[in-house]
Amino acid sequence: MNISVIGTGYVGLVSGACFAQMGNSVTCVDIDKKKIKSLKKGVIPIYEPGLEDMVLENYKQGTLDFTTDAATAVAKAKVAFIAVGTPMGEDGSADLQYVLAVAKSIGQTMQQYLVVVDKSTVPVGTAEKVKAAIQVELDARGVDIAFDVVSNPEFLKEGAAIEDFMKPDRVVIGAESQKALDVMHDLYAPFMKSHDRFIGMDVKSAEMTKYAANAMLATKISFMNEIANICERVGADVNQVRHGIGSDGRIGYSFIYPGCGYGGSCFPKDVQALAKTSKDHGYVPRILDAVEAVNYDQKSVMSNKVIARFGEDLIGMTFAICGLAFKPETDDMREASSLTIIRELTKRGAKVMAYDPKAMHEASLHYLKDIPSRDLSSQKLPIGTEGDIITYVDSKYEALKESDALILVTEWQEFRSPDFDEMKKLLKNAVFFDGRNQFKKERMDEMGFEYFQIGV
């Protein structure tokens, strides 16, 4: 099947590569000429396990191509995916300008019946706006070409997106016509050979499903973090509580690990967008507002523990930060808890030794570029402001050298079994703030660490 994917960000690139892997002819479109040129050279702009190999393989075989020519890509396509960004506005709403701009271009260039797919995460009612935008352009051209707009929300976990796409839990399609449903079922059939996980529904319900799913998962995270904060105050151990409630099949163990709060491109944006949509329709979403408020406060929990231990004046102190990305197996720094922790410490005069296996480039280039930094790693990082408030290094042990304490933020696998004797040797003080509750407190106490967890 001929497919065009407009937008080569995280969702667009993963979707395009996976559809090509199943033998479809896929053209990924982007207005960024430099990005397209880099993709043709095999330079992948994001880190996602397995993605680079899949892109290179299918580009070499000719099943995957990249272009800035949207008109040609759309004209030959049977299905056109809209996979551009929907950034969050100041009021929490999703900005649809890029989605509607793509819809307009589709209406200006389509030549035959086309299934237009909203793959971007968009508010309920967006498909109607996309349909109207396309129809305006068709009317302006004076042509009568049939088309359908469907909603196909993505449920990809960063760090496991390829596996999620190739072996989906479910494929949700919202459509107005059986013809569009049939086209989408044929497209996804190769991904569901062992069991048909295709779920057809109306368009608005499909748009709502994505928001509801992410809001539910975010709710579990904030709920468990709230329980952790209560445990800490009453003398209970949230790690034991988690085992106690997780064994209940109605609750389960997923998303009930206490930590520094959720981040990334989905949960923060989607919870706020759903809350904004709700308020726009006259309903105050009290649970969603609470979920967001708890998460906002949770990102300061670890820095508050550091301040409680060392005081408000941190001048002359250095802290090792292990883990910058919002979660393991990604370089995504959006809404990462590490950003709050680093800013809270540095504004009190502290310096930071930072290490992350994948996210240091993103951190130095975008998210922490305003803080004076230096690069002692081998990655040749782009430094926005030269200085030594933040020092980027090549390993977790390099970060510990002469640091007053370790703060573990992201639970990368390489942090799970460290050499504790080496850690104590390198640190000025054997002080360990564990933002992911990776280890048992009793064991850490026995080894001579002053060990701080969340909810204990």
How far apart CA 257 and CA 255 sit, in angstroms, is 6
Asked if 251 and 310 count as a contact pair (C-beta separation under 8 A), the reply is no
Distance, in Å, from the CA atom of 82 to the CA atom of 30, rounded to the nearest integer, reads 11
Is residue 259 within 8 Å of 186, Cβ to Cβ? no
Looking at the annotation, which residues are catalytic?
A: 266
114, β-bridge pairs: 147
H or E stretch at 274 = helix 267-280
Q: Give the residue from 197, 206, 94, 97 showing the smallest Cα distance to 150.
A: 206
Could you give the CA distance from residue 190 to residue 320 in angstroms, rounded to a whole number? Answer: 47
Calpha distance 103→96 (Å, rounded): 11
Any residues with CB less than 8 A from the CB of 261 and at least 6 apart, and which?
A: 221, 222, 225, 295, 296, 298, 299, 301, 337
The Cα–Cα gap between 278 and 285 comes to 6
What is the rounded CA–CA span in Å between residue 187 and residue 194?
15
